[in-house]
Structure 1
Amino acid sequence: MQHKIRIAAAGNTLAPALGILQKLGYAVTRDRTAEQQYQAENDTCIFVADDPLTLLGLVKIYEERGADWQPSDEEVQRLLLLDECEE
């Protein structure tokens, strides 16, 4: 039986996420003011998040859904149901 690869969001995923963002053509900077947020920017978009891994997630959402990235009511409901199952 083949083992599944398991990757968890942790410190060792931040550098690969940064490398992927740069490979995709994003300039990544860090705002060193009070919020210390990271920013990924290209010619058409700016993404802001607390870390490179979350930035990569935002970029992927945009790649998949474009400017119409907002969740549908059904998606929000599925999220809420998932959260209820964990309680």
Structure 2
Amino acid sequence: MKTSDMVSRTQITAAGNTLAPALSILRKLGYTVTRETSNERLYVAENSISVFRADDPLTLLGLVKIYEIRGIEWQPNDEEVNSLLLLESDLGS
């Protein structure tokens, strides 16, 4: 067996121990992160041009990355929605 075959892939699962790194990354990306006390107590990340809201820092970071990669055209197209629905339907099988 080659050494390269023995190297394992990195595995990270969304859990409590990923929230602090997500918050730290958001701040390093230049976002101010606060808690919104009205309604659902959402986390808010904002800079001079954008505001993002989510239930937790990890989801907040995901929103920021979606926007960084896709910009104002972040909404899904029909093919992307269909791919998600197919994946979801596989879970019900």
Runs of at least 5 residues in structure 2 that lack an aligned partner in the other structure: 1-5
Supply the distance in 1 between the matched residues of 2:68 and 2:49 (Cα, whole angstroms). 12
Give TM-score scaled by structure 2 length. 0.91
Correspondence 1:71-86 to 2 at 5 A: 71-86=76-91
Q: Does 24-33 or 47-56 show the bigger shift? A: 24-33
Correspondence 1:1-87 to 2 at 5 A: 1-87=6-92
Give TM-score scaled by structure 1 length. 0.97
Secondary structure of the residue that 1:67 maps to in structure 2? Answer: helix
- Of structures 1 and 2, the larger Rg is shown by 2
Secondary structure of the residue that 2:72 maps to in structure 1? Answer: coil
Supply the distance in 2 between the matched residues of 1:6 and 1:83 (Cα, whole angstroms). 22
Structure with the bigger percentage of helix:
2
CA RMSD of aligned residues (A): 0.7
State the percentage of identical aligned residues. 63
